[in-house]
Chains A and B, each alone.
Chain A
Amino acid sequence: MTRAQQATVLATTRPAWRPTLWLLLASMTAMAGLYTYTQQRHMAIPLMTIAIGLSYLIPYRLSRTGPARWIIRGCLLAMLLLLAPDRTQMRSFWYVDEGVTSLLGMLAAAELMLQHWLGRPDAPRQGIMLVLCAAIFAASTNAREPRLTYILAPLFALAAIGSLRVFSPQQQQAPTTAPLRRGMKSRLFKGAAVAFALLVGFSTAASIESMRNRLNRIGAEWLMSFAPRTSVGMSSSSQLSTRFNVTPSLTRALRIRGTRTTMHLRGMVFDTYESGTWRPKLEQRIMESLPVGFIPPPQAKLFQIDRLEDNLSLLYLPLNLASLQADQNARVDVERGHRGVITCTPEAGDECVYQVAPGESLNSQGPLCRPLTPDERAACLLVPPQVDPKVRDLALPLKKPKPLQTMVSIAAYLQANHSYSLKADMGEGDPISVFLLNPKRPAAHCQFFASSVVMLLRSCGIPARYITGYYAHEPTSDGGLVVRQRDGHAWAEAWIDGIGWMTVDATPGGGQPGSREEDESVSNWQKWREWFSDSFSTISNFLRRLNWRQVALAGGLVALVALTVQSILAARKRVRPLPPTPYAFPGDDLESLAMDFNRWLGRMGETPLDSATWMEHLTSQAEQTSARRQHKRTQVDTARDFVTAYNCTRFGDPTDPAAIAQLRQLLDKMKET
């Protein structure tokens, strides 16, 4: 026997129940990686490694059927979760949470150990085991001493390549005219290829490491290019520009539950206008803490607003707000003064959710409608010098005896003389003056209409302020509203003596969010994505509140339920009656008849083959027997008659005593002859 043939024999002498030693090497490498990653804290890792090693020595395997494997799996899962190290002791500087990666690695290791002991006796599932090894090793590459990874990584790659050779067709000898020969030369070439691959791998890894910072920066820039271009929320100061929301974003900003009433939700409030920009900026405002919110009046009808995304942490509220309740753990700040801008900063990881009770009517004056002090009134009446004096001339004809009528008259004037457009012509000079005084009556967007209303009202002696926020109008299937970034809007509020603050939206009807032609309808795909995102965040919020022990308990309960269900199914399977057969099983009488007939056939030298029925055998015998052997033909024909009669009884009424007696008689007669 040549060395090559010896090698082939050795290769095929591996017991079928045992995975290859390459896989053992891969498993050991992965476990070593995990053990070093967890800083030798977890004693379960060496125990599982020993269990994996033992599976190569002991041929016993757990049954793949029945509940045993699930019980063991559940116990392992619960044990690992209960014994998981305290997360507070973990290193926080790792890139990915160390607790998560080490737990995932441990779970994969437990499953790998189980797969070693569960493997089919004839073919261990080496592919799955290798994937589990990879998962363990990947978990342990989170961060550690790089030198160790440089040692373990090539070993793991080599073991992975080696362990997968079992899938090669060459491993099974084909029925060829010549034996498979794998000479020394081919082995050398293969070894050289492996060595070259390891060298290339090392060079690649070293090259990447040397350029790591630069590559990280390029990657970050590349990822940033996918980030949404429109930020969600309001600007801290509102500047009139040529475009407004030209590419409306469908990103959700707010989710409102408990009401479907359309409303203006104010976020930022401005009273100072300077050269096309409304101020002050949010950062320049004086905020004070609001620990308990506004107390709701009795019998107030509350609705809930979930702030999904916002760049300024603003709370968006209706002007007629009666009460506000935010999360107890959240920090709520309210601006001192008449503007009443409110911000809310929830705890890290929590969503900002707040309850709102509106007033009885749109004109109800709540905490956001504080009366003006003399200074505030002066600020709300100020028409800056850069606004053309002709604006005042334009406003005076619109002034009516009552402030409310003046307000209506100004809004009507704007809506009648200007149309809506997402693009506005800024012109030269003050944008509001250009917009109002241009004889062509240019079209513009809501910022221009709101600013113009404020300036015209102030020119008529009515205090007014400029508001940015959202116009909530899009209903959802659960009876609420959803507010998207495309619903961003600007309007004005005017102080009417005797009433208080009132909303003035002078933007023509077609320009309000929800009625613009430019607003895209929301696709089903977008709705499905939002539903999935909501469900995921609900579940993750729920799980985040659990500690390890609760998770272990929940896992144990799930495993228990699964086991119970499986046991019930197994029990039902056991007691399930056999499907009805088209014929009864032969009784003792028929069975003895059949045995006797077989013996008779044997004496006649007609023992049928196992693959042929009596009738097939006898028919072939009849065809082969020549006509001259009359005696033999008679025997065969008699036997065929017996078989026909037997089959009629067997598949007809096998308990018929008369038929059985007749068969017995026929057989006795055959024996005699």
Chain B
Amino acid sequence: MKLDWPSFSPSKDITVHPMLHTGTARLAWLILTQRLTASGRWFAIPTLVFGVYGGVSLQIQGYIVFSYFFAFWAIAAAAMLALRPKVKLNALLAPRICAGETLPVDVEIEQLGRLSQIDLVVLPHRLPLAVDADPDGGAAVPSLRRGQRTRVRLGLKCNKRGVYKLHGFRVECDYPFGLLRASRTFDDTRALVVYPRFQPVGHITLPTGRRHHPGGVTMASNLGESFEFVGDREFRDGDSTHDIDWRATARLSRPIVREYREEYFMRVAVILDTYVQPKATPLEHDNFERAVSVAAGASDYLARQDYLVDIFAAGPNVYHLAAGRSLAYLDQILDILACVGENENEPFAVVEPQLMENLAQITTVICVMLDWNPPRRDFVRNIVSSGSATKVIIVRDSPCTMDPSMDGNLLGRASIVTRQQYEMGLERL
């Protein structure tokens, strides 16, 4: 995997960066990024130039320029110790967002100190590597008097799906020269769930119709989805007296009952293949991320239609979703997809027994696969033999290990999603 250099951004948590192994390296980088401003880093270069050149000998007059530069540093350091921000901070932000989007954060700041402070900046503290602050250097805070409040808007650009820990916010002051930062940290640990970025799928052709779902109507979330009135008919033995249409009975002088049709839903299981071989190529990692997005898109499609996802399996983990359409199972699935990781072992041997126990009530199984090979074929064959229809979506750029068209009787028409197709948008699967 490509490893980026540690960021110079003051809001990043560089302590988790794999390149900074040692405590000394971390401390040096923290000083460079969090204690020195961008101006300070640039100012440090001429200071070093004059210091080193002038330090060769005092016959060279570099020491005179160095003295002035050093004086600026000394006063900036003294101000850094004296002008620590005295403020109160409260941040408002949503706990979930999609990858690639910018999460707005409203930060309310109240001045507590007697002296009104200027050149204040608020920024996130120790952001994960996959989340960027917007603006990168933090948002400027207006000068406040004691007890005065203001609200500043920040953005958190979430580049990659996952569940991240936010460590709170920091208020900094680089007065008077903008070289060194005095800061106060407000520890406000909270989780941020970044859903995978997905495109809505136009249509998924599922290989079976509806099945009766006991209690489906009571779980219906939309208005108008209730017992549907079909018409009147004559009373037959066994009909409930609650259904007698008394007006029609009176008009026709014989018992007439109202006939209703119950709602039917389809129950679906979604299975995501998470097997990525050790030392996989970047393309294979990319395939996996795309498969996660396709699974999210498929779940989104199912949520928009009259389908219920009962089971969601990601790799070796099976989740039973206590789902009706009113229970927001899409959120549950996206939560799972946010933190699903790659597996270095084939997950089907683990998943299959758990899945088979629950397949009796499942009408269709959607399998998002990363390849088509004997273990996957056997897995799909077992599902089909248990009576459930199967929809296989293969997310892959290169040719599969086995040709899916050879298993047409098993797969029907398998959908293969390449990178180009994915980027063009998935109109139909």
Contact = CB atoms under 8 A, between A and B. Distances in A.
Contacts of A134: 45-46, 49-50
A198 B68 contact: yes
A176 B70 contact: no
B64 A168 contact: no
B58 A204 contact: no
B63 A616 contact: no
B79 A193 contact: yes
A204 B178 contact: no
Nearest to A142: B60
B214 interface: no
A437 interface: no
B137 A153 contact: no
Contact of B142 (A178, A199, A647): A178
A156 B140 contact: no
B141 interface: yes
Nearest to B69: A157
B345 to A, nearest CB: 34
B151 A616 contact: no
B59 interface: yes
Contacts of B151: 176-177
Interface in B165-180: 174-179
Interface stretch (B27-35, B36-44, B204-212, B228-236): B36-44
A96 B64 CA distance: 17
A175 B153 contact: yes
B202 A619 contact: yes
Interface stretch (A46-54, A67-75, A208-216, A331-339): A208-216
Given A135-B49, A164-B39, A201-B71, A174 B64 contact: no
Contacts of A198: 68, 71
B358 interface: no
B118 A167 contact: no
Nearest to A140: B61
Contacts of B121: 169-170
Given A174-B140, A176-B151, A167 B119 contact: no
Nearest to A186: B118
Contact of B143 (A153, A161, A175, A182): A182
A135 B118 CA distance: 33
A143 B142 contact: no
Interface string B129-142: 00000010111111
Interface residues of B, number: 60
A466 interface: no
A164 B42 contact: yes
Contacts of B203: 619
Given A157-B68, A157-B72, A208-B63, A138 B141 contact: no
A175 B141 CA distance: 9
Contacts of B67: 153, 201-202, 204-205, 208
Contact of A138 (B38, B65, B175): B65
B50 A216 contact: no
Given A201-B71, A616-B200, A131 B139 contact: no
B351 interface: no
B6 interface: no
A365 B211 CA distance: 113
A152 to B, nearest CB: 8
A148 to B, nearest CB: 9
Nearest to B59: A95
A582 to B, nearest CB: 5
A205 B60 contact: no
Nearest to A618: B202
A219 B177 CA distance: 32
A189 B119 CA distance: 13
A400 interface: no
A160 B304 CA distance: 60
Contacts of A615: 202, 425, 427
A582 B418 CA distance: 11
A146 B64 contact: yes
B420 interface: yes
A550 to B, nearest CB: 28
Contacts of A126: 42
Say whether chain A's binding surface is mostly helix, strand, loop, or mixed.
Answer: helix
Contact of B64 (A135, A149, A215, A619): A149
Interface in A609-629: 613, 615-616, 619, 623
B318 interface: no
B204 to A, nearest CB: 12
B54 interface: yes
A173 B142 CA distance: 9
A173 B153 CA distance: 11
B140 A180 contact: yes
B178 A160 contact: no
B53 interface: yes
Contact of B62 (A141, A160, A193, A215): A141
Contacts of B220: none
B64 to A, nearest CB: 4
Given A141-B62, A141-B65, A197-B68, A130 B427 contact: no
Contacts of A194: 176-177
Given A160-B46, A181-B143, A197 B72 contact: yes
A168 B60 contact: no
A169 B42 contact: no
Contacts of A190: 175-176
Given A183-B143, A216-B59, A168 B71 contact: no
A208 B58 contact: yes
B239 to A, nearest CB: 29
B189 interface: no
Given A178-B150, A182-B143, A200-B75, A131 B64 contact: no
Contacts of A149: 61, 64-65
Interface in B86-100: none
A205 B39 contact: no
B402 interface: no
A201 B64 CA distance: 8
A531 B83 CA distance: 52
Nearest to A623: B304
Contact of B53 (A138, A177, A193, A199): A138
A514 interface: no
A154 interface: yes
A450 to B, nearest CB: 45
A196 interface: yes
Contacts of A143: 59-61
A117 interface: no
A173 B139 CA distance: 8
A96 B55 CA distance: 13
Given A164-B42, A200-B75, A177 B68 contact: no
A150 interface: yes
B48 to A, nearest CB: 9
Interface in A121-166: 126-127, 130-131, 133-135, 137-138, 141-144, 146, 149-150, 153-154, 156-157, 160-161, 164-165
A89 interface: no
A167 B58 contact: no
B57 interface: yes
A123 B54 CA distance: 32
B427 A647 contact: yes
B74 interface: yes
B112 interface: no
A201 B59 contact: no
13 contacts: A143-B61, A157-B69, A160-B43, A164-B39, A169-B137, A169-B139, A176-B141, A176-B142, A183-B118, A186-B143, A193-B79, A196-B75, A200-B74
What are the 3 tightest A-B residue pairs by CB atom distance, in nearest-first order?
A134-B46, A201-B68, A201-B71
Interface of B: 37-39, 42-43, 45-46, 49-50, 53-54, 56-65, 67-72, 74-75, 79, 118-119, 121, 135, 137-143, 150-153, 174-179, 200, 202-203, 304, 420, 424-425, 427-428
Given A160-B43, A615-B425, 9 more contacts: A95-B56, A95-B57, A130-B45, A133-B46, A142-B60, A168-B119, A174-B153, A181-B142, A613-B425
